[in-house]
Structure 1
Amino acid sequence: MSVDTAAVETANQEFYSAIEEADLDRMTDIWAHDTEDLRVSCVHPGWPMLSGRGEVLRSWALIMANTPYIQFVLTDVNVAVFGDVAVLTCAENILTAGDEGDSSFAAGKVVASNTFVKTSEGWRLWMHHGSPVLHGDDDDDQEEPG
């Protein structure tokens, strides 16, 4: 594993830890700053694309304020580094507090692409795109696309 690959994986883990701990200050540090050539963007599952650091960070503040508990177990993590840009794909296996509060939990799965840019402060998140994985009762009977 290269130094850059390890650093991207560390930055990615910081991103998910910030969500789990509802730490908006930490989340703010993780995202890149908008420049003339670079605007951060984020697609939460079921949301329209958010563009610009302010809009993206407001969305995380809203999510954190309305999520009493969330835990991520990341699987299928793959990293590709291309100079000062890195793409990390993974499956987010998510456990959250259910509608009944502390006495119930809900589980779900999202596939995510996280694109990082190397800055003078280190690797910073440039784009996050999460897409839900839908499961039906007959998933085992479905054929693979192809």
Structure 2
Amino acid sequence: MSAPVNRADVGEVHAEFYAAFEAGDYDRMAAVWADGPYAPAVSCVHPGWTMLRGREEVLRSWALIMANTTYIQFVLTDVETDVYGDHAVVTCKENVLTADEDTEAGFLAGGSIVATNVFVRAGEEWRLLLHHGSPVLNVADTEEE
């Protein structure tokens, strides 16, 4: 029988995923992702990328992204958490701000991504098994079609 579920525990790991990315901290990011018997099933789809599969490949992608991201901030909205035994699904909208300090203007860009994050409970801890992010078109973009 599964242990009782505390949704706050899932929420904490979900928040840590984004905090690790904002901090550009590879070790924190690696600690969020599932390992052990789940390592081969770890999957990630970055917006505009193809599917990455396997813990090593996924973490390599995060290392590259974080090494090339000067500044990023997430404001999460529409966060919904559903727990199914030892799996949890968190959906949200990532409202993203990025900047490039290497340019004169300190280029700042923003956008929205819808994300699905699937967690697995390994022992007493929740770990990220799948992250899938898809960009959201601006309303003005869809009106032009």
If the length of structure 1 is used for normalisation, what is the TM-score? 0.87
Call closer, same or farther: CA 1:101–1:11 in 2, change over 3 Å: farther
2 CA distance for matches of 1:87 and 1:35?
Answer: 20
- Corresponding residue number in structure 2 for 1:112: 115
1 CA distance for matches of 2:82 and 2:104?
Answer: 39
- Corresponding residue number in structure 1 for 2:51: 49
Unaligned runs of 5+ in 2: none
Secondary structure in structure 1 of the residue aligned to 2:75: strand
Secondary structure in structure 2 of the residue aligned to 1:45: coil
1:5 CA drift (Å): 1.1
1:103 CA drift (Å): 2.0
Check whether the contact 1:34–1:40 (CA below 8 A) recurs between aligned residues: no
2 CA distance for matches of 1:133 and 1:42?
Answer: 18
- Corresponding residue number in structure 2 for 1:70: 72
Percent of paired sites with the same residue: 57
Which structure has more helix as a fraction of its residues?
2
1:6 aligns with 2:8: yes
Instruction: Pick one of 71, 83, 86 that aligns with 1:84.
Output: 86
1:104 CA drift (Å): 2.2
- Tell me the number of residue pairs that the alignment of Structure 1 and Structure 2 aligns: 140
Call closer, same or farther: CA 1:51–1:34 in 2, change over 3 Å: farther
Check whether the contact 2:72–2:99 (CA below 8 A) recurs between aligned residues: yes
- Corresponding residue number in structure 1 for 2:130: 127
Unaligned runs of 5+ in 1: none
After superposition, give the CA deviation of every residue in 1:46-76 in whole Å (9 maximum; x if it has no partner).
0000000000000000000000000000000
Output the amino acid matched with 2:116.
S
If the length of structure 2 is used for normalisation, what is the TM-score? 0.88
- Corresponding residue number in structure 1 for 2:37: 35
CA-atom RMSD in angstroms: 2.2
Check whether the contact 1:76–1:91 (CA below 8 A) recurs between aligned residues: yes
